[in-house]
Amino acid sequence: MIDRRTVLAGALVLPVAARAQNERWDAIVDPRTGTLGKALEAAAAAGGRPFRILVREGVLIEKLTIAVPNVTIVGSGRGTVLSFGTYAGLKHPDGNNWGTGRTGTLTVSAPGATLRNLTIRNSFDYVGAKRDNAGNGAQAVALVIGREADRTLVERCWLEGYQDTLYVQARARIADCRIVGGVDFIFGGAPAWFERCEIVTRYVPGAGEFGFLTAPSTPLAQQFGLVFSRCRLTREPGVPARSTWLGRPWRAGGNMDLTGQSVFLDCWMDAHIKREGWTWMGYKGPDGERRQLTPQEARLFEHASRGPGAGPASPMRRMLSAADAARFTRANVLGDWDGSGG
């Protein structure tokens, strides 16, 4: 049996015969000596066949894209960190600003990706930018699940940023993760199923309000958007009571077809959540005039919320009946994909 190993800048790329003896890893990355980027180059050379990468504990300062299908990246726990600090207002080499969509520390742009047991962080100094009144263009994404990234599984991961931490543009399941941010930090138009996640609002010194958990941009014709099941909504020390919105609907680019949907099912909410629950978001209409998309116009709902942040029903904070809530299942949201990965 062949037992040779190819060393690729610290990523051990294992032939098929050797993988069976090494827990089926196609590449093993040690952050002290190698890069995840080199392992992703090897995955690209594999031509789309399933490719599994193990990343050992350590910090990788890299900005990366998963560009081929069926890539699995598994870390060694929270201490496996992928970190980078690009933000929307920074000048790109092409002369334009980076813009929100290009800031991701990790971007998934191909189907069938699986991410497990690692931290993905955008390290942009949001707090310092706010302190210095330089916060314009402070959107800084940790993980982008792009439009071509259908069937993305994110499991037991730590996603960390401040503004726009997680951008979901394709069908995804996010399970048992800790997602940390402040402003619109879970956003996008895809059908996405979140289960047993901890959604953490960050403390920003001197802030009056502490942001918005979600900013959905769901198309009207799409039945499901961002759906949170049995999650916990918590806060960092210093975040005051009644300071944080569940979300606001994002009509991206003034597209009138977008009527964002966020739904919280059987979730526990700490006291930082505002009693009103949801708020409006501004956009520019087809006539060029500034308008507001209100919670009443969007599809923002709850069912069976618990904890000190669970508020009373109102025209702004609408509750689903048990029968309506029963439609929001993982199978319905994800359709013909069962939510499993590599």
Q: In this structure, is residue 210 part of a structural domain?
A: yes
Does residue 296 lie in a domain region?
A: yes
Catalytic annotation present for 287 = no
| 202-234 residues labelled b (16+ CB within 10 A) or e (exposed) | bebeebeebbbbbbbbbeeeeebbbbbbebbbb
Q: What is the pLDDT of residue 16?
A: 38
Percent of the chain with pLDDT over 70: 93
What is the spatial distance between Cα 266 and Cα 301, in angstroms, rounded to a whole number? 12
Residue 194 belongs to some domain of the structure: yes
For tokens 């037992």, what's the residue? 3
The structural domain count of the chain equals 1
Tell me, yes or no, whether 22 lies in a domain: no
For residues 282-318, one letter each, b for 16 or more C-beta atoms within 10 angstroms of the residue's C-beta and e for the rest, the string is ebeeeeeeebebbbeebbbbbbebeeebbbeeeebbb
pLDDT at 131: 87
CATH of the domain at 89: 2.160.20.10
The predicted structure's pLDDT at residue 207: 85
Q: What is the mean pLDDT of residues 79-107?
A: 96
Range of the domain at 65: 61-334
Give the pLDDT confidence of 202-215 residue by residue, as tens digits: 999 988 788 999 99
H-helix or E-strand containing 60? Answer: strand 58-61
Residue 260 lies in a domain: yes
Beta carbons of 120 and 145 less than 8 angstroms apart: no
Residue 4 has pLDDT above 60, yes or no: no
Residue 40 falls within a domain, yes or no? no
Quick one: pLDDT at residue 208? 78
Q: Side-chain half-sphere of 303: how many Cα atoms within 13 Å?
A: 17
Helix (H) or strand (E) holding 201: strand 198-201
CA nearest neighbour of 246 among 263, 259, 229: 263
Q: Cα–Cα distance between 46 and 11 in angstroms, integer? A: 15
Q: State residue 179's pLDDT score.
A: 98
pLDDT over 80 at 172, yes or no: yes
Instruction: Record the tokens describing residue 20, joined without a space.
Output: 């069976």
CA neighbor of 264 nearest in space, from 200, 316, 320, 211: 320
Report the share of the chain in percent with pLDDT over 90: 88
Q: Is 166 exposed, middle or buried (0-12, 13-18, 19+ CB in 10 A)?
A: buried
Domain assignment of residue 5, yes or no: no
Stronger pLDDT, 17 or 216, i.e. the higher one: 216
CA distance 193 to 227: 5
- pLDDT interval class at 14 (50, 70, 90): very low
Q: Cβ–Cβ contacts within 10 Å for residue 128, how many?
A: 10
- Is the pLDDT reported for residue 132 higher than 90? no
Q: Give the model's pLDDT for residue 134.
A: 73
Q: By the 8 A CB rule, do 234 and 200 touch?
A: yes
Predicted pLDDT at 11:
55
- Predicted local distance difference test score (pLDDT) of residue 20: 35
pLDDT at 1 over 90: no
Residue 226's pLDDT band (boundaries 50, 70, 90)?
A: very high
Q: What is the pTM of this model?
A: 0.94
Q: Mean pLDDT across the chain, nearest whole number?
A: 93
Q: Does the active-site annotation cover 164?
A: yes
Q: What is the pLDDT, as a whole number, of residue 7? A: 40
- Residue 226's beta-bridge partner residues? 192, 262
| Residue 83 contacts residue 60 (beta carbons within 8 Å) | yes
Catalytic residue among 132, 184, 257, 338: 184
For residue 258, count other CB atoms closer than 10 A to its CB: 23
Q: In what order do the strands lie in the sheet with 183-188?
A: 64-66, 106-108, 143-145, 166-168, 183-188, 212-216, 245-247
Is residue 130, in this structure, part of any structural domain at all? yes
Are the beta carbons of 129 and 161 closer than 8 angstroms? Answer: no
pLDDT of 183: 96
Residue 35, sorted as left (phi over 0), alpha (psi -120 to 50) or beta, turns out to be beta
Q: Mind listing the pLDDT tens digit for each residue in 235-287?
A: 999 999 999 999 999 999 999 999 999 999 999 999 999 999 999 999 999 99
Considering 3, 164, 270, 336, which one is annotated as catalytic?
164
Quickly list H helices, 102-183.
Answer: 126-131
Contact 275, 316 (CB under 8 A): no
